[in-house]
Structure 1
Amino acid sequence: MIKTLWKQQTKLLFRQAGLLMTLLLFSLIATFSLYSGHAIIRQQNLYIDSLEQLYKQDKSELLEAFVDTATAIGRQKASQAGTPEVINYRLPQNAVNRPTGLAILSVGTREVAPFYDRVRTNVSFLNPANGTIFNPLLLFLGKIDFSFVLLYLLPLVVIIFCYDLGAKEKEQGTLPLLRVQGLSDSMLYLGKITFRLALIWSVYLLLQVLAFIIAYMTAPFSLIEAVQWTLLFSGWLFLWFIIGYAFLHLNLSSHANAIALICSWVLMLFLLPNMLNSYVNSRYPIPLRTDIASYERHQSELIWEMRPADLVDSFHRYNPAYTATFVPARDTAHLSRRFVAGYYDLLARRLRKKNEELQRELSQREYTAKRYSSWVPGVFIQYAANCLAHTDLEAQRSFEKAVADFQSEWKDFLYQFQLSERNLRPSDFARFPVFKTAYRSIKLPVMHLLYPWVLGILILITSILLLCLKQKH
């Protein structure tokens, strides 16, 4: 019986140009979203490549300066080329966060958060690369990428295909004819909705395969991540078909059904996320960074006016490894290398302590947004997609921590020359520390993947129970 009904639905589909145009338009928008996501990630890759090319060029020029000693100017440049201060200024180390393959499908925070940093021995907490994303929704949502199309537009396709499933035959007066052929209302609804589910899911899978091919050409990703992604958004599609199926039992007109489904779409993808954002903003207001700016200016003036001996002593208390090369007559003079190192060290420690207060407030905001996202399906699905694409907040925080660790490593490397009054030789350039980003292996918790499936099943069970109660009465 279902097979016969599916054949009938296939014939009807080709007579309904509106439904075919809907699928075509959705496919075109999805394809454009792949182009949009690929363009963003490609631009970031090109920028990273240009940074690395510029670094190689600057490094080559510094090394060439060691060789050109035939003239007085050449000898002067050669003597300056190896000084730690010149290297720190002219040759900052690149710390880059290259995108993974799935990043073109879900750009996430990569569009609003820094994806590179030029590392020097000193760090400013007002540097844009050390900025913070304040809007909790921006931690999860992005622009028009493939995940955006699946999250927002795929439910609309389901609504267009499902809003008149039960009401059409009643409004056209063909329902009695179908009942004569032995089709019950439940069998009719089930056959029609499973046909549309299979159709739209097939279109989604074709687009998903195309997306994976394009993504893999950008950067490789694991098969597990691809399976998890497909399972996640297949569940999202299943959830919306269940919502459409639940409304069938209310016996509404096709227009009322369409309005109810659109209201559900607006509620899940607009009202609930904005309510979450409003709650987080009211509970944990955005802290201002202007306090750090004024604090940094004030502390820099105070530290600069300190007695050089006191500043050097403070530096040694927190950096005892450099006491072996300490020469009091040389290193306690104002503007000595150790004085400058002590200045930046003390300023960084005070700013870091001040910044920790701000970070605690921001962490509380982020934790609250993440905690309550399970009550907001749209935000929760996008968050899971960002996790799989390594474009979520945790990935950004991991990159920032790696940059901070590398900055400390680079500082230690240069300080061994700077504080012992030695210059670097060309052979020392080969020993520069190298920044490495260790991408964490993503394996989402089972409940994250099953979230839309479980939610859909709960809605289905609830609708069936309500229908049974209605029939009893």
Structure 2
Amino acid sequence: MSAPMSSAFLSSAFLAGMRFEARVMRRDGAIWFALLILAGVALFALAMGASRVAAQQAAIAAARADETQRLSNLQKTLAQLQQGETQGKPAPEPPPYRDPRNAAFMGGGPAAAVAALAPAPLALVATGQSDLLPPAVRVTTGSKDSFLFADEIDNPANLMSGATDLAFVVVFVYPLVILAMAFNLLAGEREQGTLAMTLASARRPGAALAGKLTARVAAPIAVTLLAAAAGVWIFAGWERLASPGFAALLAVVLLYGLFWAALAAAVDGLGRGSAFNALTLIGAWVAITMILPAAINSIAAFAHPAPSRIDMVLAARAASTDADRARDASLARYADEHGGGGKPAGGPQEMTLRRLATQEAAFQRVEAIVAEHDAQLARQRDMADRLGYLSPAYLTYQAMADIAGAGETRYRAFLDRIRAFHVDWREFFLSRAKAGASLTAQDYAAMPKFTQADEELVGRAPAGLAGPLIGVALPALILAIFAWRGFRRCRI
């Protein structure tokens, strides 16, 4: 038989098996129920994601409006003070912490700049790191612990229960439906006595069985992809469907579904019963989606232990308190040695310089603690990313978080930009405070601004998706080879 004719027989057997299984599935109400539930859960998750994105956008808008109002009030007060001095009718001197001319106090709070991370175009897909860091922070001249961890993102009870997003549905719910559809293709027909009839009536039994399996797994995969497209269109706009990020999302969901389909087919191809297949696949689902990710994080945490954020914040606050106590002890010694009620000579500028020196000592202590915590956490994350290739579920979630703009890469870049901006902000205000210079209207116009450099990535697919995609596709391919060998072993 020539190769074209063999190929024709193969394709016709495959299509015949797929059409026959599709007709059987159409008559099964349980299958329709499972598919509708899967689609409904996916749409609900995207609706919840859209509401979360709206809340983040509202928080950013409120922070920027507050910044604009604060600066406007400071500039008005500054203009009134300057006008009074010009007209020879000086206004009452405001306290230092309200004086818009005082660089030491203004940079530490009243004139604080807002650094915001706008939600990505597909932010409704996954929560990622967005439940750990606020979307907008007020950068001051103080240490990073004074503004990075100052705001409560959400009710702690809500954070403990976790967010419902499409990534959760895809990683946990989606595989269950695929396994339920594909776990007993051979075993079920063998137990019902119809497998021999199927094998005898097909010219290419392996191709026919592959077609029947394709019909079973194509239904949940297609429903999930269509639900994702419909949800993104409804809640984010149709233009998102044409973005490279959405194409990457479809590729991730498709490959993850094919992995579970290949796993189900490989176990079914062992020739055991339906009960064995069900127990084996449920055990594999628990191991891949729950045990392995938890083990990966535990191993990384054991190899590179880092204090919790609460411990880090408490240590930073303790360092700041120690610096304040050192300042109080220094002033007390000065009072004992020189008298005068503990007020050093030199006037207000000398007091300002002493206060800034104390703040700088506290800042250096706090920055050392934060830097050590961040470095240890970075090593922990890098190790977890390497071990993540042991679990396709881990890789899939990380890939979806990156597509949503809520992954580690984007947030690391955001924190790095905050770190660089923080240095510029401190230099701008503290250099003037140490020189004893008063802030002017020109200084307010020249204050550093946090730039949204991240906006140039809008609409692009994350660059680091190749690794996770290969990490899911390779085991799927290996399992597919084992499944094909198991299906070919079926004989009358």
- The two structures have a TM-score, normalised by structure 2, of 0.80
Q: 1:188 to 1:160 in 2, by over 3 A?
A: same
Say which SS state the counterpart of residue 144 (structure 1) adopts.
Answer: coil
Q: Distance between the aligned counterparts of 1:434 and 1:32, measured in 2?
A: 38
Q: 1:382 to 1:160 in 2, by over 3 A?
A: same
Q: In the alignment, which residue of structure 1 is the partner of 2:69?
A: 57
Which piece of structure 1 moves more, 258-267 or 17-26? 258-267
Q: Which of 285, 300, 305 does residue 324 from structure 2 map onto?
A: 300
Q: In the alignment, which residue of structure 2 is the partner of 1:200?
A: 220
Q: 1:206 to 1:40 in 2, by over 3 A?
A: same
Which piece of structure 1 moves more, 248-257 or 122-131? 122-131
Q: Which of 31, 35, 44 does residue 19 from structure 1 map onto?
A: 31
* Structure 1: runs of 5 or more not aligned: 132-140, 309-327
- The AA in structure 1 aligned to 2:395 is F
Q: 1:307 to 1:50 in 2, by over 3 A?
A: same
Deviations 1:153-180 (A, max 9, x none): 1111101111221123222223333344
Q: Does the aligned pair in 1 maintain the 2:46–2:232 contact within 8 Å?
A: no
Deviations 1:106-137 (A, max 9, x none): 11011122332211112253655389xxxxxx
Q: In the alignment, which residue of structure 2 is the partner of 1:267?
A: 287
- The AA in structure 2 aligned to 1:238 is L
Report how many residues are paired. Answer: 442
* Shift of residue 55, structure 1, vs aligned partner: 1.6
Q: Does the aligned pair in 1 maintain the 2:16–2:208 contact within 8 Å?
A: no
Q: Distance between the aligned counterparts of 1:214 and 1:419, measured in 2?
A: 55
Q: Distance between the aligned counterparts of 2:368 and 2:185, measured in 1?
A: 62
- The AA in structure 2 aligned to 1:452 is V
Q: In the alignment, which residue of structure 1 is the partner of 2:337?
A: none
Root-mean-square deviation (Å): 3.4
Q: 1:199 to 1:170 in 2, by over 3 A?
A: same
- The AA in structure 2 aligned to 1:459 is L
Q: In the alignment, which residue of structure 2 is the partner of 1:134?
A: none
Say which SS state the counterpart of residue 259 (structure 1) adopts.
Answer: helix
Q: Which of 328, 334, 358 does residue 343 from structure 1 map onto?
A: 358
Q: 1:219 to 1:279 in 2, by over 3 A?
A: farther
- The AA in structure 2 aligned to 1:430 is A
1:31 correspondence with 2:31? no
1:455 correspondence with 2:479? no
- The AA in structure 2 aligned to 1:301 is R
Q: Does the aligned pair in 2 maintain the 1:246–1:460 contact within 8 Å?
A: yes
1:100 correspondence with 2:120? yes
Deviations 1:201-223 (A, max 9, x none): 32222123224435644997983
Q: Distance between the aligned counterparts of 1:130 and 1:81, measured in 2?
A: 24
Q: Does the aligned pair in 2 maintain the 1:30–1:146 contact within 8 Å?
A: yes
Q: Distance between the aligned counterparts of 1:237 and 1:201, measured in 2?
A: 6
Q: In the alignment, which residue of structure 2 is the partner of 1:40?
A: 52
Q: Which of 375, 379, 385 does residue 394 from structure 2 map onto?
A: 379
Say which SS state the counterpart of residue 31 (structure 2) adopts.
Answer: helix
Which piece of structure 1 moves more, 79-88 or 157-166? 79-88
Q: 1:342 to 1:59 in 2, by over 3 A?
A: same
1:8 correspondence with 2:33? no
Deviations 1:295-348 (A, max 9, x none): 33223322555589xxxxxxxxxxxxxxxxxxx966873x12x33222222321
* Structure 2: runs of 5 or more not aligned: 1-12, 152-160, 333-344
Q: Which of 406, 430, 434 does residue 391 from structure 1 map onto?
A: 406
Say which SS state the counterpart of residue 406 (structure 2) adopts.
Answer: coil
Q: Which of 360, 384, 389 does residue 369 from structure 1 map onto?
A: 384
Q: In the alignment, which residue of structure 2 is the partner of 1:435?
A: 450
Which piece of structure 1 moves more, 84-93 or 453-462? 84-93
Deviations 1:201-259 (A, max 9, x none): 32222123224435644997983322222212211111111111112212222232222
Q: In the alignment, which residue of structure 2 is the partner of 1:357?
A: 372
Say which SS state the counterpart of residue 188 (structure 2) adopts.
Answer: helix
- The two structures have a TM-score, normalised by structure 1, of 0.83
1:415 correspondence with 2:452? no
- The AA in structure 2 aligned to 1:187 is A
Say which SS state the counterpart of residue 114 (structure 2) adopts.
Answer: strand
Q: Distance between the aligned counterparts of 1:281 and 1:265, measured in 2?
A: 24
1:210 correspondence with 2:237? no
Q: Does the aligned pair in 1 maintain the 2:59–2:136 contact within 8 Å?
A: no
- The AA in structure 2 aligned to 1:406 is F
Q: In the alignment, which residue of structure 2 is the partner of 1:158?
A: 178
Q: Distance between the aligned counterparts of 1:73 and 1:266, measured in 2?
A: 74
Q: In the alignment, which residue of structure 1 is the partner of 2:158?
A: none
